[in-house]
């Protein structure tokens, strides 16, 4: 099978993947479950409102961090419970935590990717109108429990 998105090593263990404009993040049942789980973690905002939850219009790239990489440091954030990703708009760059961290927090890479692409699409970092539940209807803004 052809590797559509070839990877370029950055630091030991982490890897870079380039994505084209218009990339659609695959979504599986597990991603919906993760969205529900993450919605229960205080301060976590799984998905942007629909106007930002769409394929990006410009290419971007993802750095998947190694298990030993510190995502807080990579993102320049203070250490936060279940920080699983961040986006740098000007550089079109997204950091995603290692699979071990994602599992510990009940997240999936696809879900984190959709969240961070939302930021690349202009969703402000204050996470206004975040959508929590996969059961909400289109256009609905969820109310936190
Ligand atoms: Zn965010």
pLDDT for 78: 87
In a domain, 78, yes or no: yes
Instruction: Determine how β-strand 7-9 pairs with β-strand 15-19.
Output: antiparallel
In a domain, 34, yes or no: yes
Handedness of CA 75, 24, 46, 9 (dihedral sign): negative
In a domain, 62, yes or no: yes
C-alpha of residue 13 to centroid of ligand 1, in Å: 24
C-alpha of residue 1 to centroid of ligand 1, in Å: 33
How do the residues of the chain divide into helix, strand and coil, expressed in percent and rounded to 5? Answer: 25, 15, 60
In a domain, 128, yes or no: no
In a domain, 136, yes or no: no
pLDDT for 10: 53
- Distance between CA atoms of 31 and 48, rounded to whole angstroms? 14
C-alpha of residue 115 to centroid of ligand 1, in Å: 6
Domain span at residue 78?
A: 7-120
Mean pLDDT split into 10-residue runs, the chain, 145 residues: 43 88 92 80 80 96 92 89 92 95 90 96 91 58 45
- pTM equals 0.81
C-alpha of residue 47 to centroid of ligand 1, in Å: 8
Phi, psi of 33 (to 5 degrees): -60, -45
- Distance between CA atoms of 85 and 74, rounded to whole angstroms? 9
pLDDT for 135: 55
C-alpha of residue 122 to centroid of ligand 1, in Å: 11
In a domain, 145, yes or no: no
In a domain, 41, yes or no: yes
C-alpha of residue 2 to centroid of ligand 1, in Å: 32
In a domain, 137, yes or no: no
C-alpha of residue 41 to centroid of ligand 1, in Å: 14
pLDDT for 46: 85
Domain tally, the chain: 1
pLDDT for 2: 45
């Amino acid at each position: 099978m052809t590797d559509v998105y070839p990877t370029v090593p950055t630091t030991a263990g982490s890897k870079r993947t380039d994505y084209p404009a218009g990339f659609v993040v695959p979504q599986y049942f597990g991603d919906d479950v993760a969205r529900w789980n993450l919605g229960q973690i205080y301060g976590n905002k799984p998905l942007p409102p629909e106007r930002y939850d769409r394929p990006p219009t410009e290419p971007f790239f993802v750095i998947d961090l190694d298990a030993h990489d510190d995502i807080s440091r990579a993102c320049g954030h203070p250490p936060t419970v279940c920080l699983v990703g961040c986006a740098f708009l000007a550089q079109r760059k997204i950091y995603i935590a290692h699979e071990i961290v994602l599992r510990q927090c009940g997240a999936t890479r696809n879900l984190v990717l959709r969240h961070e692409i939302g930021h690349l699409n202009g969703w402000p970092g204050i996470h206004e109108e975040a959508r929590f539940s996969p059961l909400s209807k289109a256009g609905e803004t969820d109310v936190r429990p």
